[in-house]
Amino acid sequence: MSSEPSSRGEQTRSAILQAAHDLFVEQGYHGTSMRQIASRAKIALGGLYNHFPSKEAVFEEVFFAYHPYHEVLPYIQQAQGSTVEELIQDAASRMVKAVRGRPDFLNLMFIEMVELKSVHAQKLINTFYPIGLEIVGRLMQTEPGQLRPIPPPMVVRSFLGLFFAYFLTEIIFATAAPPEFRQDAMEHFVDIYLHGILKPPTEITGS
């Protein structure tokens, strides 16, 4: 979360969000009750309902208050590079740095997708999409004519897919896989995103 709460009401609301965040991450959405949130925040149940009319309203505010797009979007906008590859590598690296150390992020995303059927997805799309199109525009200007004629929305979607696949496999292979599954993983993800896994036809015919 960002700014420090000033008034007593804001402090209470902040305590509610912190308590709810921790409980949602620990127990999931359906496993958490309003009574538990009130107890963890050290307020009366009626006091909780003075701030939020329902558990869904609590989760919605937690989801957007703790979602890392607050840090990720500025990082992406600051990405630098003189080529398309350098620009995407830098943007991906900045995203990883912004989200690494936030193990709660994927928990909240899974709760949103699995337990709440992505009911808040539209708001996220409305936030990310213009920034994504801005990045695609920069890519086109960086090396004009180098990009294949892929619709910009698909470029944005596939880049976000790359990002989520990276963190999902980071969790899966955290302890069970040998080191080579993790070494320089994002660099390889970006390389595959840009170039695929097949050799260029010229290399194949020349070999």
- 78 and 172 share a domain? yes
Tokens of 52: 């939020």
Residues 55 and 111 in one domain: no
Domain boundary among 63, 84, 103: 63
* Domain of residue 170, residue span: 67-206
Helix (H) or strand (E) holding 182: none
pLDDT single digits (tens) 95-129? 888 787 777 888 888 899 899 988 888 888 888 88
> What's the count of helices (H) and strands (E) in the chain, helices before strands?
11, 0
Return d(Cα 124, Cα 50) in angstroms, integer.
Answer: 27
In a shared domain, residues 48 and 81: no
Distance CA 139, CA 133 (A): 10
CA 140, 143, 144, 146 torsion-angle sign = negative
Domain contains 174:
yes
Together in a domain, 123 and 193 = yes
- Both 48 and 114 in a single domain? no
pTM of the entire predicted model? 0.75
Nearest Cα to Cα of residue 34 among 61, 62, 56? 56
Spatial distance between the Cα atoms of 30 and 160, rounded to a whole number of angstroms: 27
pLDDT tens string 71-88: 777 777 888 888 889 988
Euclidean distance between CA atoms 42 and 36, whole angstroms: 10
* Whether 80 contacts 87, CB under 8 Å: yes
Picking from 18, 43, 63, the residue at the C-terminal end of a domain is 63
189 within domain boundaries: yes
In this structure, the answer to whether residues 129 and 38 fall within a common structural domain is no
If one counts every other C-beta atom within 10 angstroms of the C-beta of residue 153, the result is: 12
Return per-residue pLDDT of the chain as tens, 207 residues. 545 556 888 999 999 999 999 999 999 999 999 999 999 999 999 999 999 999 999 999 999 898 877 777 777 788 888 888 998 899 888 888 878 777 788 888 889 989 998 888 888 888 888 888 888 888 888 888 888 888 988 988 898 888 888 888 887 777 777 878 777 888 899 999 999 998 877 766 655
Token pair in block for residue 118: 């992505």
CATH number of the domain within which 74 lies = 1.10.357
Q: Is residue 1 part of a domain?
A: no
Please check whether residues 123 and 188 belong to one and the same domain: yes
Number of domains in the chain: 2
Look at residues 94, 189, 194 and name the one whose alpha carbon lies nearest to residue 139: 194
Helix runs in the chain, H state only: 8-27, 34-41, 45-51, 55-66, 69-77, 84-99, 104-110, 121-142, 152-172, 185-195, 201-206
Domain CATH number, residue 50? 1.10.10.60
Residue at 136 is within a domain = yes
- The reply to whether 96 and 35 lie within a common domain is no
User: Are both 76 and 168 inside the same structural domain?
Assistant: yes
Q: Is 55 helix (H, G, I), strand (E, B) or coil?
A: helix
What's the rounded Cα separation, in Å, for the pair 81 and 139?
A: 10
Q: Rounded to an integer, what distance in angstroms lies between the CA atom of residue 192 and that of residue 186?
A: 10
